[in-house]
Amino acid sequence: MRNSAAGTKRILVVEDEPAISQVCQRVLTRDGFDVDTAINGEVAQEMLREKDYTLVLIDIRMPVMGGGEFYQILESQYPQLISRVIVSSGDVIGSRTKNFLEKSGRPFLPKPFTPDELKTIVGETLRQAEK
């Protein structure tokens, strides 16, 4: 992996809905982050090989490779990122998603969300990871 610029915090948004990706990119860039987006877990894997990320925001339901499968890859190949993962979904939380969230213990950001909710959960997750 290549490092991002010294001191720059880079966020990877793994999201298949372009409007959500664009909102995340706009809001988080304004907050001083470098933001990359991937349309699914498979694309995100390639991006992780190229760059280091400070935080990863993962949508649960995506085509090709969904959030749960991508999270398992993070656990096995990028364990240093696990404490800096936020999970998101716009679906009603079914038993499968609920089990995943309970098992992972990661913060959950339900869609639709406001820019303030996004900034708050990112800030809280980064603070918790630094402890």
Q: Could you tell me the pLDDT band of residue 42, with boundaries at 50, 70 and 90? A: very high
- Tokens standing for 78? 């990028």
What is the Cα–Cα distance from 91 to 48, expressed in whole angstroms? 26
CB 31 within 8 A of CB 119: yes
Q: Which amino acid is at 126?
A: L
Whole-number percent of the chain with pLDDT over 70: 93
Residue 95: the pLDDT is 78
pLDDT tens by residue, 62-114: 888 888 899 999 999 999 999 999 999 887 667 778 888 889 999 999 999 99
Q: Could you tell me the pLDDT band of residue 18, with boundaries at 50, 70 and 90? A: very high
Whole-prediction pTM: 0.91
Which string of DSSP letters, residue by residue, matches 44-110? HHHHHHHB--SEEEEES--SSS-HHHHHHHHHHH-GGGGGGEEEEE-S---HHHHHHHHHH---EEE
What is the Cα–Cα distance from 106 to 121, expressed in whole angstroms? 11
Sheet of 10-14, strands arranged across:
34-38, 10-14, 55-59, 85-89, 108-110
Complete domains list, the chain, with CATH: 10-126 (3.40.50.2300)
Which of 3-7, 21-25, 60-64, 96-100 has the highest mean predicted lDDT (pLDDT)? Answer: 21-25
